[in-house]
Structures are given as structure tokens and as C-alpha cells.
Amino acid sequence: MDKIVLSDQKPLQSLKINEWEQGLRPDGSKIGIYKDAEYAIFKDHINPRAGGYVDLLLSRNTAKSLFVTKAQQGYIFNMNDQHGLVRKYGLEILGLNQESFNKRQADVYQYALLYSLRKIINGA
């Protein structure tokens, strides 16, 4: 299963970016609020999907560096964190949204696993 999940980098990255665009943590709570009201207005103007909340996206360079790795308790995102986002907002921002991951398992991973098993059984 690890091989299947780890080979699904781009779709998982897209799901994480979509989550951040909405200003959400994996559990659905807001990432945070901006201390500077003017900056909050600026960010809301360039990304209204977050509703003025922290979205972790400005240049999108950090988001483009996201990749999934195997962790002790499943999977987690890693990234080039040149802005100290984990230090500022917590390690939780790198988690996978369980609902999205479960949907991905049902829609894609189970079929990829069945395909792999059939290849093994058929000696391919």
C-alpha cells in the first residue's frame, strides 16, 4: 500500500493545496488569523477562498515543494519550509485530511492494490 500512496504525489499535493486555499487544517479547523488587518485584506483579495484567514500561500513555492512521506502513524506531508510555517502554525498543517484520504483510498488505491495483487497471482 505504501508504494501506491507514495506514487500518488501530485493528486495528494493538489488536495493539500486546496485545503490551504480554504485556510484549513487537516481536521477542518482554520489555520489561524492574521495579526495585521491590512495584510489580511491583501491576502483576502488575492485568495478569497480563505475568507481572510491564514492560507499558507503567497508565492506558492512552499506549496509546490509539498511531498508525501511515510510516517510512524501513516503518511504526512513534508516540504521546503523556508518560512518556518511548521514552527509558526504547528506540525498538524502537514497532516493528511482523513476524509480526503479515505475517499482517495476508495476511489483509487483499492483498485491499484487489486491490480497489483492480480498481477502477482497471475505471475506477471
Tens of pLDDT, residue by residue over 9-62, are 999 999 999 999 999 999 999 999 999 999 999 999 999 999 999 999 998 999
pLDDT score for 12? 95
Rounded distance between C-alpha atoms, residue 104 and residue 68, angstroms: 14
pLDDT score for 124? 60
Rounded distance between C-alpha atoms, residue 42 and residue 27, angstroms: 26
pLDDT score for 119? 82
Strand partners, 67: 78
Q: What mean pLDDT is predicted for residues 79-89?
A: 94
pLDDT over 70 percentage in the chain: 99
DSSP state of 107: I
